Chains A and B, each alone.
Chain A
Amino acid sequence: MANGESPVGADAPAGGFVQLLTPDGERIDSVTTADGVTYSVDFTDGEYRELYQDLVTVRRLDAEATALQRQGELGIWASLLGQEAAQVGSGRALRPQDMAFPTYREHGVLYTRGIDPIMPFGLFRGVDQGGWDANKYKFNGYTIVIGSQTLHATGYAMGVTMDGKTGTPDGEAVIAYFGDGATSQGEVNESFVWAGVFHAPMVFFCQNNQYAISEPLERQTRIPLYRRAAGFGFPGVRIDGNDVLASYAVTRAALDQARNGQGPTLIEAYTYRMGAHTSSDDPTRYRIASEVESWKVKDPISRLKAFLTKQQLADDTYFAEVDESARKLALDLRERVLAMPDPQPVTMFDHVYPNGSPELDQQRAQFAAYEASFEGSTH
Chain B
Amino acid sequence: MSETITLGKALNHGLRRALENDPKVVIMGEDVGKLGGVFRITDGLQKDFGENRVIDTPLAEAGIIGTAVGLAIRGYRPVCEIQFDGFVFPAYNQIVAQVAKMYYRSLGKVRVPIVIRIPYGGGIGAVEHHSESPEAYFAHTPGLKVVTCSNPADAYAMIQQSIISDDPIVFFEPKRRYWEKGVVDLDAPGDFPLHASRIVRDGTDATVIAYGPMVRTALDAAQAAAEDGRNLEVVDLRTLSPLDLGPVFESVRRTGRAVVVHEAPGNLGLGAEIAARITEECFYSLEAPVLRVTGFDVPYPAARVEEEYLPDLDRVLDAVDRSFGW
Contacts and interface: CB of A to CB of B under 8 A. Distances in A.
Nearest to A354: B166
B93 interface: yes
A159 B66 contact: no
B74 interface: yes
Contacts, number: 149
Q: Which of A101, A157, A357 has the most CB of B within 10 A?
A: A357
Nearest to A144: B97
Contact of B108 (A150, A157, A194, A354): A354
B262 interface: no
Contacts of B78: 155
Q: Which of A128, A141, A152, A351 has the most CB of B within 10 A?
A: A152
A354 B143 CA distance: 9
A360 B70 CA distance: 27
Interface residues of B, number: 47
B200 to A, nearest CB: 21
Contact of A353 (B65, B67, B74, B167): B167
A75 B108 CA distance: 23
Contacts of B104: 129, 351-352
Nearest to A155: B70
Q: How large is the interface on A (under 10, 10 to 19, 20 to 34, 35 or more residues)?
A: 35 or more
A197 B58 contact: yes
Contacts of B102: 141
Contacts of B90: 186
Nearest to B66: A151
B170 to A, nearest CB: 13
Given A151-B94, A354-B111, A359-B242, A158 B63 contact: no
A131 B105 contact: yes
A158 B26 CA distance: 12
A101 to B, nearest CB: 8
A337 B145 CA distance: 35
B70 A152 contact: yes
B63 A187 contact: yes
Interface in B88-107: 90, 93-94, 97-98, 101-107
Interface in A75-108: 101
A134 B103 contact: no
A323 to B, nearest CB: 35
Contacts of A154: 63, 66-67, 70
Interface in B101-124: 101-111, 113
A132 interface: yes
Interface in A160-210: 160, 162-163, 186-187, 190-191, 193-194, 197
B80 to A, nearest CB: 11
Contacts of B57: 194
Nearest to A153: B70
Nearest to A359: B242
Nearest to B277: A359
Contacts of A160: 74
A163 to B, nearest CB: 8
Interface in B242-282: 242-244
Nearest to B61: A190
Contact of B165 (A150, A163, A194, A355): A355
Contacts of A360: 142, 242
Given A132-B106, A151-B66, A155-B66, 17 more contacts: A130-B106, A130-B107, A133-B109, A134-B110, A135-B73, A135-B110, A141-B105, A152-B67, A160-B74, A187-B63, A187-B93, A190-B58, A190-B62, A190-B66, A353-B143, A354-B166, A355-B165
What 8 A-B pairs are tightest by C-beta distance, nearest first? A155-B70, A151-B66, A155-B67, A159-B74, A156-B70, A131-B107, A354-B166, A190-B63
30 contacts: A129-B104, A130-B106, A130-B107, A133-B106, A135-B73, A135-B109, A135-B110, A140-B73, A141-B102, A145-B97, A151-B65, A152-B66, A152-B67, A152-B70, A152-B98, A154-B66, A154-B67, A155-B78, A156-B71, A157-B70, A158-B71, A162-B76, A163-B74, A190-B62, A190-B63, A194-B57, A352-B142, A357-B145, A358-B195, A358-B242
